[in-house]
Structure formats: structure tokens, C-alpha cells
């Protein structure tokens, strides 16, 4: 495995009292049917990543152990694909009533803190799970070697409404 690079994704299982809208999945974050959509995505994400990047370190972060979905034991699948699993609590959540959608969006901050604590160096590609890794990631990793951080640019004003909150509101209301 490439020791200095990790491809990772995550999943947060929200409880009913933490439910927020996931528009792309057509329901709430606490709905088991919506959660199953993302668990299926995670299976495809890691399977496609392993096929196209056989030596890349893969990591999964969640606040729960992977379940069995559609008869597939996702923990066993991740073991076969050599995915490192970490159970991390969600410590930063959008306050209730502040935004209707994506209430657990700040889980990436918990992951970054965890990786920074336990990994002194290396490259981390942390992405959403609803994607297929259709090719080797060597070019992306080479780009990361030339930069401190990579992200996509969101060309909206700091006070623009994004799913019920602006970026400036998010910066002041993380709890």
C-alpha cells in the first residue's frame, strides 16, 4: 500500500432527533431508507477505488459500524477491500433549527482533526461517498504533492443562502 496517501469517505448515522433533509436522497438523514442509499454508495465507492487503485490506502470514518444492506455485510466487504475503519463521534453539528439540510456536514472537521492527530504527514483525499472512482488517482496525488490543500471553489458570497444557511452563519454557529 502507498503509505503516504489515503483515499477516504465517511458516513454519519443520525438519530431521529438529529434528522435533517438530504435532498439528493429524497428524505431525512435519520430515515433507514435514506441511510441505505449512502451505504450502497459506500460499497461502490470502495470497490471501484480498489479496482482502479490496488495499492492505495483506503479509509472509512463513521459514528457507527457498517451494517448489512441488501444481504451484503459492508464491514466484511471493507475488510476484503482492505479499508481501514475508524469510529469517530460527530462533535460539530449545525444547531437545530438553523438549517433544514445537511445537519451533519461538519463531520469532515472531526475527520481532519483525527487524521492530524494520528498521522504526521501524507496526503488525504477525503470525499463524499456517492461517487465512482473510475481511474487511478495518481494524477490527483501528484497535484496534492504540489499544494498544501485541494478543494473545489464555491463562487458564492459569504452571506449567500446554501441549503438554509450562509457560510458566514456556519462559521459562527458550529456547535
In angstroms, how far is CA 25 from the centroid of its own chain? 15
With residues binned 3-state (H G I as helix, E B as strand, rest as coil), the percentages for the chain, rounded to 5, are: 35, 20, 45
Residues 156 and 162: beta-carbon distance below 8 Å:
yes
Q: Which is more confident, 79 or 93?
A: 79
Question: Per residue in 8-36, pLDDT tens?
Answer: 999 988 888 777 777 777 777 788 998 99
Provide the pLDDT confidence category of residue 120 given band limits of 50, 70 and 90: low
Q: What is the largest CA-CA distance in the chain?
A: 45
pLDDT at site 1: 37
Whether the predicted pLDDT of 107 surpasses 60: yes
pLDDT tens, position by position, 144-168: 888 877 776 667 788 887 666 677 7
Tell me, letter by letter, the H, E, C secondary structure of 87-139. ECCCCCCCCCCCCCECCCCCHHHHHHHHHHHHCCCCEEEECCCCCCCCCCCHH
Phi, psi of 103 (to 5 degrees): -65, -20
CA 97, 103, 106, 107 dihedral sign is positive
Determine the pLDDT at residue 24: 74
Please report the pLDDT score of residue 105 as a whole number: 73
Q: Say what the pTM is.
A: 0.82
Please list the residues that pair with 126 across neighbouring strands: 8
Mean pLDDT across 40-69: 96
Position 70 scores a pLDDT of 96
pLDDT above 70 as % of the chain:
83
Q: Is the pLDDT of residue 100 over 90?
A: no
Which pLDDT score is estimated for 2?
Answer: 41
Give the residue, 154 or 117, on which the prediction is more confident.
117
Contact between residue 118 and residue 93 where contact means Cβ atoms under 8 Å apart: no
Q: Tell me, rounded to whole angstroms, the distance of Cα 87 from its chain centroid.
A: 13
Q: What is the pLDDT of residue 101?
A: 60
Residue 3, pLDDT > 70, answer: no
For the segment 106-110, the average pLDDT, to the nearest whole number, is 83
Amino acid at each position: 500500500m502507498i503509505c503516504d496517501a489515503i483515499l477516504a469517505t465517511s458516513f454519519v448515522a443520525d438519530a431521529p432527533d438529529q434528522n435533517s433533509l438530504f435532498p439528493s436522497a429524497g428524505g431525512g438523514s435519520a430515515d433507514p431508507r435514506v441511510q441505505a442509499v449512502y451505504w450502497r454508495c459506500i460499497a461502490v465507492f470502495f470497490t471501484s477505488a480498489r479496482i482502479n487503485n490496488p495499492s492505495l490506502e483506503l479509509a472509512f470514518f463513521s459514528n457507527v459500524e457498517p451494517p448489512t444492506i441488501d444481504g451484503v455485510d459492508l464491514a466484511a466487504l471493507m475488510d476484503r477491500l482492505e479499508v481501514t475503519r475508524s469510529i469517530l463521534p460527530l462533535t460539530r453539528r449545525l444547531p437545530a433549527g438553523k438549517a433544514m439540510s445537511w445537519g451533519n456536514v461538519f463531520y469532515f472537521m472531526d475527520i481532519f482533526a483525527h487524521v492530524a492527530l494520528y498521522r504526521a504527514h501524507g496526503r488525504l483525499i477525503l470525499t463524499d461517498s456517492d461517487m465512482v472512482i473510475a481511474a487511478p488517482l495518481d494524477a490527483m496525488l501528484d497535484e496534492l504533492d504540489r499544494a498544501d490543500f485541494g478543494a473545489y471553489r464555491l463562487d458564492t458570497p459569504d452571506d449567500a443562502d446554501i441549503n438554509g444557511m450562509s457560510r458566514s452563519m456556519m462559521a459562527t454557529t458550529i456547535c
